[in-house]
Amino acid sequence: MKIKGTIDRPRLYVFKSNKHIYVQIIDDYNKKVLTSSSTISKEIKDFNKVFANCKTAKIVGQNIANKLRKLNIEKIVFDRGHNIYHGQIKELANATRNEGINF
């Protein structure tokens, strides 16, 4: 089953590779990527020099939550892809929730 966002709740999609973690906010209604963040983003890469782990996943979650607040988005649909809700994915989701984003 494919997860889709709505007009008022865009989709937060998580992709995880062996070295990096990527997050995109996707507006499925207009088929656009609203914003994104990852461990290779400039603001995170300068802050932390290590690859994807739970600590960097938490930083990516906080960063994407800040970008969502700038876009006045408070509610999203969480799409973890084929990843298990464990470890890095769980830390990213909890960091995003702790910054005030509801899903």
pTM of structure: 0.91
CA dist 66 and 1 (Å) reads 29
pLDDT of 1: 67
pLDDT at 47 over 90: no
pLDDT of 91: 96
Q: Tens of pLDDT along 61-96?
A: 999 999 999 999 999 999 999 999 999 999 999 999
How would DSSP label each residue in 53-82? SHHHHHHHHHHHHHHHHHTT--B-EEE-TT
Amino acid identity, residue 100? G
3-state secondary structure labels for all residues of 13-40: EEEECCCCEEEEEEECCCCEEEEEEECC
Q: Tens of pLDDT along 49-59?
A: 778 899 999 99
Sheet holding 32-38, edge to edge: 32-38, 21-27, 11-16, 77-79
pLDDT at 10 over 80: yes
> Contact at 8 Å (CB) between 61 and 95?
yes
Domains (range + CATH), the chain:
11-98 (3.30.420.100)
